[in-house]
Amino acid sequence: MRTVSLLFAVCCVFMLIAGEQNAQEIKNPAIVGQWEAANQTVEIFEDGKIILRNKVKKETSEGSYKLIKDNMIRLNLEGSKPEDYSLSLSQDKLILTRANGEIFAVYERAEQTPPTSKPK
């Protein structure tokens, strides 16, 4: 009986770990795609790359992102230090908030089909 209980406990732990890994895997696809704000367009790719285009200054910044918690994203753009933002995500809205509580940007999804890799 002890062997069966121990085996059951080990299986439960394994299933919990596998469930956590699967939950982590589905976080990235929700954020992938093209997003637009009043003066900026952001493209977020499955491979961790990000491209920001400033419509006013006609500038483009490239870099990477990493989801570091359920509601935190770390942006590492060329020429800048990595910066963490609070992330609020719905099907059609993405809100990034700085650590001091200031809203950095509010984006709306620009397209239904998200890009899967950075253009060459």
Question: Using H for helix, E for strand and C for coil, what is the string for 46-70?
Answer: CCCEEEEEECCCCEEEEEEEEEEEC
pLDDT-derived band at 20, boundaries 50, 70, 90: very low
Question: Under CATH, which architecture does the 32-109 domain have?
Answer: Beta Barrel (2.40)
State what percent of residues in the chain have pLDDT above 70: 68
Between 53 and 18, the more confident residue is 53
Mean pLDDT of 94-114: 87
Mean pLDDT of the chain, nearest integer:
78
pLDDT at 113: 52
Q: Which residues contact 46 (CB under 8 A, 6 or more apart)?
A: 28, 29, 32, 114, 115, 116, 117
Given the structure tokens 């121990």, which residue do they identify? 6
Whether the per-residue pLDDT at 4 is higher than 60: the answer is no
In this prediction the pTM is 0.67
Q: What is the pLDDT of residues 50-90, one digit of tens each?
A: 999 999 999 999 999 999 887 899 999 999 999 999 999 98
Q: Which amino acid is at 45?
A: F
Residue 91 and residue 109 in contact, taking contact as beta carbons nearer than 8 Å: yes
